[in-house]
């Protein structure tokens, strides 16, 4: 086996093997557990950088194992997969640091960190899947590995949220399975190709393909929280903050959105989707979700629930970019795959800090929080402004290219959706920023704790949101740099790699 064949397996194993080892540790072996987590995260990041270099140089990085005729497990690295792999690797490291600090006094940490690492392995498998059956396998593994994280607290509320989460995602997985089997029967093994594997299918199969497309979008749409398939997401906010951050920024919703992108571009091909008349339906579904999620966020006093409905809205920008025929929209949607993850994980890190340090869980409790925790509130403010679309923060560039794509393709109504959505983003984020910085606190904090004598909160809770907030600014300011998500999205669109 060559290095280029081994790299995908090695990257998977850097989180898979530590996860298995952690399950066999004693709860008291915290130093070894931490070493396994951080060692695996740093090693994964190093291997991803190596793979990034190999893909940049034009080498084929792929592993394939035949399961049966016309059915194989295939992992590969193309420019699109590198975006999600890179995002997952960087944010896994930061979320691991955050979780170590957040769960310092929590029971069942071995179970948490074991499934946490398995969740990352599943996400990496989704990112590197080279065909539809491999994507399906890891997609279902993601459901099984995230369920224990959702119910980690073990109380009735968590158990009920986990039950609903499992019901939604398992039903979505069943619909996806039907679509994959049906497509496999028509087309054989469905590999991902730059122009769409099915683009050469005969017109006799077009009616079936339209139904299959709908099944695949529904299956991925559950995790992507497309309305009306989003009901599990706000309820899952009973999970600890590191889990919420992982679900919204790296794993579940991002896996659903990534699946939609793969179906549109690499299974059907966007030109073929347009020929079949499918793009308009996806654009309408994404637009409804964008507006609905933003409106619902306005009425949420619980901070994490407000952020959850914000995710319902923001993730659908990715689906919207996939549904507009044109290069600018493609760049906007693919770039938002990364930008949304960085901004949203910052917001959830900050929400966790407010809750752990001051006992603040609601927007109505945030008066004066910026004076008590200025660094955390500064990170929150940067990410919130990015979500609204204020330049030069990351989110501006995603929305800008989506708007350009809509104008170029004649979808002027999409510009209206983007404008309305940005106004609603401001309506539910700016009051939080105003309360935090400009309203004087007149009552005691709900549950204040001194987690550090030198800093506003524990260092492991403070460092990750400061780093991710800085990344939100850097990927905007240096959007033209060769390492930026925007630059990489342009290469994907131009087919130069």
Report phi then psi at 63, rounded to 5.
-135, 135
Q: Are 395 and 389 in contact (CB under 8 A)?
A: yes
Q: Are 361 and 441 in contact (CB under 8 A)?
A: no
Interhelix angle 327-358/374-388, rounded to 10 degrees, is 150
What's the length of the chain?
497
Bridge partners, 66 (sequence order): 72
Q: Within a domain: residue 393?
A: yes
DSSP 236: G
**What's the pLDDT score for residue 439?**
92
Share of the chain above pLDDT 90, in %: 65
**What's the pLDDT score for residue 71?**
81
Q: Which domain holds residue 398?
A: 339-497
Q: Within a domain: residue 421?
A: yes
Q: Within a domain: residue 124?
A: no
In angstroms, rounded to a whole number, what is the distance separating the alpha carbons of residues 132 and 212? 13
Residue 74: its H or E element: strand 71-77
In angstroms, rounded to a whole number, what is the distance separating the alpha carbons of residues 199 and 193? 10
Nearest to 139 by CA among 116, 113, 173: 173
Q: Within a domain: residue 465?
A: yes
Q: Within a domain: residue 3?
A: no
Choose between 452 and 323: higher pLDDT.
Answer: 323
Domain count of the fold of the chain: 1
**Tens of pLDDT along 407-432?**
998 889 999 999 999 999 999 999 99
In angstroms, rounded to a whole number, what is the distance separating the alpha carbons of residues 66 and 69? 7
Q: For the residues of 341-389, what is the DSSP string, one character each?
A: HHHHHHHHHHHHHHHHHH---BGGG-TTHHHHSHHHHHHHHHHHHHHHT
pTM recorded for the entire structure: 0.94
Q: Within a domain: residue 380?
A: yes
Token pair listed for 129:
């899947």
Report phi then psi at 31, rounded to 5.
-65, -45
Residue 497: pLDDT band by 50, 70, 90 thresholds? very low
Nearest to 249 by CA among 373, 454, 387: 387
Burial 473-492 (b: 16+ CB within 10 A, else e): bbbbeebeeeebbbbbbbbb
**Tens of pLDDT along 138-183?**
999 999 999 999 998 888 989 999 999 999 999 999 999 999 999 9
Q: Are 274 and 295 in contact (CB under 8 A)?
A: no
**What's the pLDDT score for residue 202?**
60
**What's the pLDDT score for residue 496?**
39
Token pair listed for 149:
């994280």
Q: Within a 13 Å sphere around the CA of 40, how many CA atoms are in the beta-carbon half? A: 31
Q: Within a domain: residue 152?
A: no
SS3 (DSSP) at 166:
helix
Residue 66: its H or E element: strand 61-68
CA distances from 270 to 102, 197, 261, 267 (A): 43, 11, 10, 9
81's CB contacts (< 8 A; 6+ apart) are 127, 128, 129
Average pLDDT of span 454-482: 92
Residue 320: pLDDT band by 50, 70, 90 thresholds? very high
Token pair listed for 263:
């179906």
In angstroms, rounded to a whole number, what is the distance separating the alpha carbons of residues 398 and 396? 6
Lowest mean per-residue pLDDT among 240-254, 310-324, 379-393: 240-254
Q: Are 53 and 121 in contact (CB under 8 A)?
A: no
Residue 195: pLDDT band by 50, 70, 90 thresholds? confident
Q: Are 290 and 421 in contact (CB under 8 A)?
A: yes
Peptide bond into 228 cis (omega under 30): yes
Kindly report the average pLDDT of the chain as a whole number.
90
């Amino acid at each position: 086996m060559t290095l280029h064949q081994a790299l995908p397996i090695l990257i998977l194993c850097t989180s898979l093997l530590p996860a298995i080892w952690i399950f066999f540790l004693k709860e008291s072996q915290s130093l070894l557990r931490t070493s396994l987590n951080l060692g695996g995260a740093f090693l994964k990041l190093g291997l991803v950088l190596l793979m990034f270099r190999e893909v940049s140089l034009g080498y084929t990085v792929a592993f394939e194992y035949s399961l049966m005729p016309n059915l194989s497990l295939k992992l590969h690295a193309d420019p699109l997969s590198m975006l999600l792999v890179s995002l997952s690797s960087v944010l896994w490291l930061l979320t691991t640091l955050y979780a170590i600090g957040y769960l310092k006094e929590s029971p069942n940490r071995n179970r948490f960190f074991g499934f946490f690492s398995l969740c990352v392995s599943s996400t990496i498998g989704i990112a590197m899947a080279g065909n539809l059956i491999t994507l399906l396998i890891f997609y279902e593994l993601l459901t099984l590995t995230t369920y224990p994280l959702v119910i980690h607290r073990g109380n009735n509320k968590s158990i009920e949220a986990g039950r609903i989460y499992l019901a939604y995602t398992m039903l979505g997985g069943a619909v996806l399975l039907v679509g994959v089997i049906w497509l496999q029967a028509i087309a054989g093994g469905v590999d991902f190709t730059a122009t769409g594997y099915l683009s050469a299918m005969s017109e006799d199969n077009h009616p079936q393909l339209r139904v299959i497309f709908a099944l695949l979008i529904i299956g991925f749409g559950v995790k992507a929280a497309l309305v009306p398939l989003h009901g599990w997401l706000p309820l899952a906010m009973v999970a600890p903050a590191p889990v919420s951050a992982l679900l919204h920024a790296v794993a579940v919703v991002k896996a659903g959105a990534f699946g939609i992108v793969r179906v549109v571009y690499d299974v059907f091909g966007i030109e073929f989707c347009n020929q079949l008349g499918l793009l308009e339906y996806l654009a309408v579904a994404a637009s409804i979700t964008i507006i609905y999620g933003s409106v619902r966020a306005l009425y949420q006093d619980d901070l994490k629930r407000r952020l959850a409905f914000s995710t319902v809205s923001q993730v659908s920008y990715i689906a919207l970019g996939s549904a507009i025929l044109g290069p600018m929209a493609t760049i906007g949607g693919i770039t938002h795959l990364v930008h949304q993850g960085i901004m949203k994980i910052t917001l959830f890190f900050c929400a966790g800090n407010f809750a752990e340090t001051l006992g603040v869980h609601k927007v109505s409790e945030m008066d004066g929080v910026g004076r008590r925790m200025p660094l955390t509130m500064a990170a929150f403010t940067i990410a919130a402004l990015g979500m609204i679309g204020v330049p030069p923060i990351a989110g501006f560039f995603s929305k800008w290219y989506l708007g350009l794509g809509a104008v170029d393709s004649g979808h002027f109504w999409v510009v209206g959706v983007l404008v309305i959505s940005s106004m609603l983003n401001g309506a539910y984020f700016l009051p939080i920023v105003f309360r935090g910085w400009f309203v004087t606190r007149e009552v005691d904090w709900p549950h204040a704790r001194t987690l550090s004598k030198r800093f506003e909160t524990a260092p492991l809770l403070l460092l990750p949101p400061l780093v991710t907030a800085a990344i939100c600014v850097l990927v905007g300011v240096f959007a033209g740099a060769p390492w930026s998500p925007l630059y990489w999205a342009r290469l994907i669109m131009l087919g130069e790699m």
